[in-house]
């Protein structure tokens, strides 16, 4: 019994709730004009850089163990500002976090796209699967770590839809994230809890 108690004390002493911070990249000129970029690679606007700087300052007070980032330029530009405060933090670039793609909607504005007939390169089910498989992977590999994801609008939407088991038709109108907003999920004993979503108080 003393051995068991000692092990329990050890576990609880070193146990830490896992935190996943999630941010969308800073504004691009195409974002400002409500034009879909998908995988077209553009850098941040001047306002987007300022947003990223404010996000970086907000994150400077958070302990981050590892950063996962989409390899597209708009997320890399956002990460560059974050690294002003997190230069020593390991970064992994992964296409698991890239934006969704729809070849017939690229360079079109929101009001020009009919989402019911858009020719998605990645289906809703495939994107949902990508989101939950990535979440499952980091939960297994980084239990009790604090993680930052630098990613995109559609990935964030489907990640939270999965967490809350939101059906597809309802999901389309929920979980829209602003540029450089911050969301937080906590995971304790494999249970996921949304702490906040799309917080822009720092911008």
Numbered residues of the known binding site for substrate: 24-31, 74
Q: Are 174 and 13 in contact (CB under 8 A)?
A: no
Q: Which two tokens stand for residue 33?
A: 């004009």
Q: Which of 138, 146, 137 is CA-nearest to residue 184?
A: 146
| Strand (E) or helix (H) holding 18 | strand 18-24
**Cβ neighbours of 55 (radius 10 Å):** 25
Q: Rounded distance, CA 16 to CA 146, Å?
A: 9
Numbered residues of the known binding site: 24-31, 74
Q: Are 150 and 70 in contact (CB under 8 A)?
A: yes
**Cβ neighbours of 185 (radius 10 Å):** 21
* Helix (H/G/I), strand (E/B), else coil: 23: strand
């Amino acid at each position: 019994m003393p051995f068991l108690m000692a092990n329990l004390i050890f576990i609880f002493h070193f146990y830490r709730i896992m935190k996943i911070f999630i941010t969308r990249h800073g504004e691009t000129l195409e974002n400002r004009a409500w034009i879909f970029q998908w995988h077209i690679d553009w850098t941040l606007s001047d306002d987007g850089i300022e947003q990223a700087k404010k996000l970086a300052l907000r994150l400077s007070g958070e302990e981050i163990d590892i950063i996962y980032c989409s390899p597209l330029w708009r997320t890399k530009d956002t990460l560059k500002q974050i690294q002003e405060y997190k230069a020593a933090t390991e970064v992994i670039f992964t296409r698991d976090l890239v934006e969704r793609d729809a070849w017939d909607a690229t360079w079109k504005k929101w009001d020009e796209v009919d989402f019911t007939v858009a020719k998605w390169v990645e289906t809703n089910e495939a994107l949902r699967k990508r989101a939950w498989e990535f979440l499952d992977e980091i939960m297994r590999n980084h239990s009790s770590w604090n993680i930052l994801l630098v990613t995109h609008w559609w990935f964030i939407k489907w990640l939270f839809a999965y967490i809350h088991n939101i059906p597809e038709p309802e999901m389309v109108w929920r979980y829209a994230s602003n540029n450089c907003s911050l969301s937080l999920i906590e995971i304790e004993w494999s249970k996921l809890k949304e702490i906040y979503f799309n917080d822009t108080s720092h911008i």
